[in-house]
Each structure stands twice: as structure tokens, then as C-alpha cells.
Amino acid sequence: MKKILAIVLALVLSLSLMAVAEKAGEGLTIGIVYKQSGNAYFQAGVDGFAKAAEELGFEFVHDGPEDSSNDGQERIIRNYIDMGVDVLCISANDAAGLVDVCNEARAQGIVVLSWDAKVDAEGRDLDVEPAGAKAIGVQQLESIAESIGYEGQLAIVSAGATAPNQNLWIGFIEEELKTNEKYSKIEYLGVVYGDDDYTKSYDVTKSLIDKYPDLKGLIVPTTNGGPAVAKCIMDEGKVGQIKMTGLTLAHDMAEYIKGGVADATFLWSPIDLGYVTAYVGVAMVNGEFKAEEGTTIDVPGFEGLEVIPSDDGGLILYLNKLFGFTAENVDDWIDIL
């Protein structure tokens, strides 16, 4: 009887060990760092990590500085290194500013991924992005150009002045404005920075409206800035005269899109972005996937994602799914994004 019991116990134990072993992330910890706390976009990103954690069994911690600073992010990263995380997933406020601390982490065997906003090539193993920067930039430019009839004054209300992702998109927007004949009647006024802060984004928009009475278009490539700019256009009684577009969540822009402030805004799924980044990180720690040009990874729902060289000399991986929100479809999105 004792023997049978021992065999049964051994069987149960090995079965449960097998169940544990089946989860690729078991025993691993991911440290997620984002640009700032309190940003609904990054909360959605964390939801994506959480979904992956359920499937893969890893633990995760997440944080971002209140003030969107590079120093604040560096402190969080050091804390995560001390905690002994296995993977760092960083959306940077300053692409160059985190290179040193990231290389300290890599020297200790931590996999360093950037997601959403890159860490410079020399400080990361791989950058995971929603889509190519040119596609994201030009999509917004073409949309606002169409809204304003391809002529008139246009400005950009961005996030922080050093924000890596916004600056890349803006670079491509500016290049198109200079070189593409179809935008030659657009008078480009330049960029102002709302620092991903609602009040500051509102205030800089108000200053632009006061300074340029003929202003026709605004591009707002930040989810925190979008609703602040839209509210300002409404409060100033400029609906119809000034149009905006940008990268926004659906739920906090729906009333403005339906109210005519924007014909269309765009975004990818930050949930998917977090989800895929987590899968990539776990596969890299386990040695199942190497960040090398041409390697591919299968993530549930995202098969065959390929590592390609990026413009900054590093490596990048794209999800390549961009969505547009209009008065017709925005209500279908508000419970999702």
C-alpha cells in the first residue's frame, strides 16, 4: 500500500512539475519602465504584459516617473537591477539618456528591450515598435492635409522635447512637408511641447491659437496631448476652423471626434505592444529566440514577426497594425482602447 502511495505521489509530483515546466516564463521577472505614471496608454501596455504573464507564468513590476524625466527612469531601472529582474522593457523619455544604465544591466545578463520609445541602439538588445516611424508620421500628415484642403498653417503639439518616438515621427513629417509637392501650400509653423501633460498641452495650444489667428491644422502625436488640444479647440470656439489629428486613445477622444474637432485620429494597440514585447523578452532569456537580423518569432496572434535593421544601426521588430478612429467607428473602439 505504501509503495502504491509513493508511486502515486511521485506521479502527481512529476505531472505538476511538467505543468510548471510548460510555462516558459515561470521563475522570470520582467521590469517594465514607461515614460510617466498615470498615462492610460501605458496602463493599456501593462494590460498586455499582464495577459502574457497569465499565459507564460512570469512575474512583472512596472513603474514610470511622475515627471517624465530621464533621471526618474534611471532610478527605476537601477532599482529593478537590484531586484534581480531578468528582462527590462523600457519606453524611454530620452533615447541616449538611458544607454549607460542599460549597458550596466546587460553586463549583468539582463535582456534589455525598448518598446514604444527606443533606447539608442548601443544600449539595447532590441526595439519593439508598433510600425515604421515613416508610416506613422506620414499617416498623420496626410490625414490633416486632407482635413484642411492641403493648404494653410499647420503646427505640431508634441510630447517631451527629447521623446524618441515623437521626434522620429516628426522628422518624417517635416521631411515630407519639405519634399512632397502636394504639401507645398501648407505653411508649417513648427513644434510646441506639452510634455505629455494635460494642462501644459492645453496651455501651449491656447498660445498657438492666440498667436496664429489663421491656424488651420494641428498634429498631436501623443495620447496625453490629444484630448487636451481637442478641448482647447472647443473652448476657444474654433471647431470647423481648426482641425486636428494625431495618435490618440479612442475612449478619451470619442466626444471630440464626433464633435468635429478631428476627422480621424490613429493608434495601434498598446495592449498588443506590451503583449508581444513580453513574449520576445521571455523567449530571449530562455535562448529560444535571438535578436539577430532575419530571425523570426511566433507570438500568439502575431506569427512570423521578423527582426530587421533599424535606421539607428540597431535592431527593431514591428507589429505593423495601425488603426484609424472616425465619427463612424470610434464608438466601436471605446471599450477596447
For residue 302, with 0-12 CB atoms within 10 Å meaning exposed, 13-18 middle and 19 or more buried, which class applies?
middle
Which of 223, 245, 269, 277 binds ligand RAM (CB under 6 A)? It is 223
C-beta atoms surrounding 266 within 10 Å: 18
List the beta bridge partners of residue 242: 239
247 binding ligand RAM? (CB under 6 A): yes
CB-nearest residue to ligand RAM: 41
Question: Minimum CB separation from ligand RAM for residue 144, in Å?
Answer: 16
Per CB under 6 A, contacts with ligand RAM among 154-173 are 159, 163, 165
182 CA to centre of own chain: 30
Chain position carrying cell 503639439? 157
35 binding ligand RAM? (CB under 6 A): yes
For residue 137, with 0-12 CB atoms within 10 Å meaning exposed, 13-18 middle and 19 or more buried, which class applies?
buried
Question: Minimum CB separation from ligand RAM for residue 141, in Å?
Answer: 15
Handedness of CA 91, 66, 270, 266 (dihedral sign): negative
Helix 133-147 × helix 164-179 angle, to 10°: 60
Binding track over 256-295 against ligand RAM, x by CB under 6 A: ----------------------------------------
Question: Minimum CB separation from ligand RAM for residue 223, in Å?
Answer: 4
Which of 196, 197, 252, 272 binds ligand RAM (CB under 6 A)? It is 196
Question: Minimum CB separation from ligand RAM for residue 82, in Å?
Answer: 26
Nearer to ligand RAM, 91 or 139 (CB): 91
At 314, list the grid cell. 540597431
Using DSSP bridges, classify how beta strands 296-299 and 302-309 pair: parallel, antiparallel or unpaired. antiparallel
Using DSSP bridges, classify how beta strands 265-267 and 126-129 pair: parallel, antiparallel or unpaired. unpaired
201 binding ligand RAM? (CB under 6 A): no
Q: Which residues bind ligand RAM (CB under 6 A)?
A: 35, 39, 41, 91, 116-117, 159, 163, 165, 196, 222-224, 247
